Amino acid sequence: MSTKNQFHRNRVLVSVGIVLAVGLGTFASSAGAEAASVLTGPIDLGTSATYGVLAASAITNTGPTVVNGDLGVSPQSSITGFTGAPNGSNVGATHDNDPAASLAQSDLTTAFNAAAGLTPTSSGLSELSGMSLVPGVYSGGALALSNNGSLTLAGTSADSVWVFQAASSLTIGSATHIIVTGGASVCNVFWEVGSSASIGTSAQFVGTVLAAQSVSAATGATISGRLLARAAAVTLQSNTITVPSGCQTGSAPVTTDSPAVTSGSPTAATVGSPFSFQVTASGTPAPTFAVSAGTLPAGLTLNGSSGLVSGTPLSSGRTTFSITAANGVGTNVTATYTIVAAVPVLALTGQDALPTALLAGGLLFVGTVLLLLRRRRREFGAHRIESNG
């Protein structure tokens, strides 16, 4: 086989291999306990339902913020910036590290765990701008609504419920809008946030934030709902927060103790390019994650709290591994995944062209040498014929 044909064959094999890798990268198998936590109504907030703002360490306000609801801090004691106009004011009770605030924090923890343990109807979300979402449970790593973006919650009745699960942060950009349609109520929109939530300048936000850490609202943001923080502070700047009225009493979801993996299959990866795959699982309390068999592809790591597999693959190949979700209650569940990392096709530009150029130059040199040798052989053969003649 000639060098040219061999080179062409190698390029075809590489292309076919990449196509196969992309195809294989969509397959994964999982098995585990048949456990789930099903949403049957709004999240039960208990006594925290009357609070427009509830924090663990402090509530700090700047400007003429108005909270149409209760204020509360527990277990620490710090509420500043609420001395009446021109500073902040609230229409409701103020509970500064008293038994009522302590009970509200306990009820907030119960509500947070109930929301976190729900089985998602859709997972892998990140950017919400431009979406129109029917009632359900939506999960992702870091959820965001970009500046000037809008999100439509397309309800079907007053009983429509939405629960958003952000494994890490929630970032609502400036001048954003959340629109509730179809006769649905802002009472039934809940945002469970694994770390902290921030609401941008002049945003029009809807729903109850259940944050594991802190919540902040920038200048002019309006909130139809509640800002509830379990472990840290709530920071306000000239905001209007209105606790919705006429809300139905929350109902407890139908839950099971054991976690259940709810994520699908990972996409294909490319060597040298950023990659991420979100492993999700239901369960109450929310489970943690660990690699229990095999190893992740070189360059990737697992966040044990959020279940996010991320990084930059360093080598090509097909890697199979297992991840176990555990919440300390009931039976652990294990899922097995396969990630295929393919070598990218090098473009004939810039530094990426250097290996290809070297290969092409080498082949050209070899081809030239072979051609000259062939020509010399013909000339030598012709000379022998003449000499013998």
- pLDDT, one tens digit per residue, over 208-266 is 999 999 999 999 999 999 999 999 999 999 999 999 988 877 655 544 456 778 778 89
pLDDT at 330 > cutoff 80: no
159: closest CA among 91, 250, 231, 264?
250
- pLDDT, one tens digit per residue, over 266-312 is 999 999 999 999 998 877 677 899 999 999 999 999 999 999 999 99
- pLDDT, one tens digit per residue, over 46-81 is 999 999 999 999 999 999 999 999 999 999 999 999
Q: What is the mean pLDDT of residues 83-104?
A: 95
d(CA 183, CA 23): 43
Average pLDDT value for the chain = 84
C-alpha R_g of the chain: 30
d(CA 389, CA 378): 17
d(CA 270, CA 21): 10
Backbone angles phi, psi at 206, to 5 degrees: -130, 130
